[in-house]
Structure 1
């Protein structure tokens, strides 16, 4: 699977998760499963394509009680005619479930050679 396919899955699952959350609520089993699946694909993107991706703290969307990471792309990718520079958000609490602390630190520093 190439990076475009992984990114497309993340975007598609993110849309489905948001629809499920609106329709059934955030505590619904399907909503949680979609959230977890999206996060798993984001982790795969970050681990399998470190030359293409990194984490950045999203200061625009983070709140006092919830830090959000933006899963960023080092160069833009066109998906379904839309230029993408990110692969959606990943809450810090979920990132801590998926990555070791040292991995998170490395992913936050992995923003060299950005060509967006």
Structure 2
């Protein structure tokens, strides 16, 4: 597989690992430099883009959106994996308001487990 094709069609395992790593980097950047720093914003936006790619390539068969009923504050989706990857059951959280900005209503419906 060429590098270009690999970039466009990353495996679910690779995407989940990237999402987890970028989420961690975002949290560290936010703590060190503040939530509004360019590094924090860039990391957050990259995580969202990777999550959208994961959903569009692998939902609902291997990953799906579920509302996190235990989250406090802002309403969040969890990206629930049907099979654990590196002991992860989720590909982190995605705020509902962000999902509504980056995904169509049809995509949200398709990607949500009923």
Give the TM-score range, shorter chain: 0.7 to 0.9
Corresponding residue for residue 96 of structure 2: 92
Number of matched residues? Answer: 104
Higher helix share: 2
1:19 aligns with 2:28: yes
Corresponding residue for residue 78 of structure 2: 70
Corresponding residue for residue 114 of structure 1: none
Which residues in structure 2 correspond to 1:32-71 (within 5 Å)? 32-50=41-59, 51-63=61-73, 66-71=74-79
SS in 1 for 2:51: helix
Q: CA offset at residue 107 of structure 1?
A: 1.2
Task: Please give the alpha-carbon distance, in whole angstroms, between the structure 2 residues aligned to 1:62 and 1:73.
Answer: 22
SS in 2 for 1:15: helix
> Unaligned regions of 5+ residues in structure 2, if any?
1-9
Q: TM-score, normalised by structure 2?
A: 0.86
> Unaligned regions of 5+ residues in structure 1, if any?
112-116
Q: CA offset at residue 7 of structure 1?
A: 0.6
User: Which of the numbers 29, 40, 44 marks the counterpart of 1:31?
Assistant: 40
Task: Please give the alpha-carbon distance, in whole angstroms, between the structure 2 residues aligned to 1:28 and 1:93.
Answer: 21
Corresponding residue for residue 3 of structure 2: none
Q: CA RMSD in A?
A: 1.2
Task: Please give the alpha-carbon distance, in whole angstroms, between the structure 1 residues aligned to 2:29 and 2:79.
Answer: 22
Q: CA offset at residue 30 of structure 1?
A: 1.1
